[in-house]
Amino acid sequence: MSSEDLSILVIDQDQLRASILEDGFREAGYQRVSVLKDIDMIMKRIVEIDPDVIFIDLENPNRDVLEHMFQVSRTVQRPVAMFVDQSDTAMIEAAIDAGVSTYIVDGLKKERIKSILDTTISRFNAVNRLREELEQTKNELAERKLIDRAKGILMQARNLSEEDAYKLLRKTAMDQNRKVARVAESLVLTAGLLKD
């Protein structure tokens, strides 16, 4: 995505710090920059603005404000960079767990904004790819277990070998233009109903 297309939201209650970030983005070629100074009804405003990336700058946040911002990060599913003046290990871990892509302590400098933005987007994309791969692997494992259960049902009910049970599942799937896992799921559900 080019710098002209990228929409950036800066969330900062301090006008001076917000203007540092906004100026830094504009100097780096990013023109679609919005600034939120009021965090009341923040989720509604984020939905309205629909940014591609969010930069949150918190001077000395208390736990409630941090937790609120972590909730924002968990909900929006966007690259989020968070700047704080002070931190501890627990806050860093909570930020990462909440999906904050970049967590920077005492590092707000206009000339670093482009590299921080690039890092934030790259890290968000990498974590998203891993999350998608994990979800796909979980789904494939669940399907494999379902197919194994269906094969077991067929082997017992029809006195088939494991190979023949799988061939029957596959043939049924092709005949019905369905996935083998969906046929297996139907068989397992039906077998469960017949037991009761």
Residue 105, pLDDT score: 82
* Same fold for the pair 7-108 and 133-195: no
DSSP string covering the chain: --TTT-EEEEE-S-HHHHHHHHHHHHHTT--EEEEE---TTHHHHHHHH--SEEEEEESS--HHHHHHHHHHHHHH-S-EEEEESS--HHHHHHHHHTT-SEEEES---GGGHHHHHHHHHHHHHHHHHHHHHHHHHHHHHHHHHHHHHHHHHHHHHH---HHHHHHHHHHHHHHHT--HHHHHHHHHHHHHHHH-
Give me the pLDDT at residue 196, please.
Answer: 60
Q: Are 11 and 57 in contact (CB under 8 A)?
A: yes
Per-residue pLDDT of the chain in tens (196 residues, 90 and over written 9): 555 689 999 988 888 888 888 888 888 889 899 998 887 788 888 888 899 998 888 766 666 777 777 777 777 888 988 888 777 788 888 888 888 888 888 767 777 888 889 899 999 999 999 999 999 999 999 999 999 999 999 999 999 999 999 999 999 999 999 999 999 999 999 888 877 6
Measure the N-to-C terminal CA separation of the chain; round to a whole number of Å.
56
**What topology is assigned to 7-108 in CATH?**
Rossmann fold (3.40.50)
Q: Is the Cβ–Cβ distance between 151 and 172 less than 8 Å?
A: no
Q: Structural domain boundaries of the chain? A: 7-108, 133-195
The pLDDT score that the predictor gives to residue 63 is 67
**Is this model's pTM higher than 0.85 or not?**
no
pLDDT at 184: 94
The pLDDT of residue 152 = 93
Residue 24 pLDDT:
87
> Class of the 133-195 domain?
mainly alpha
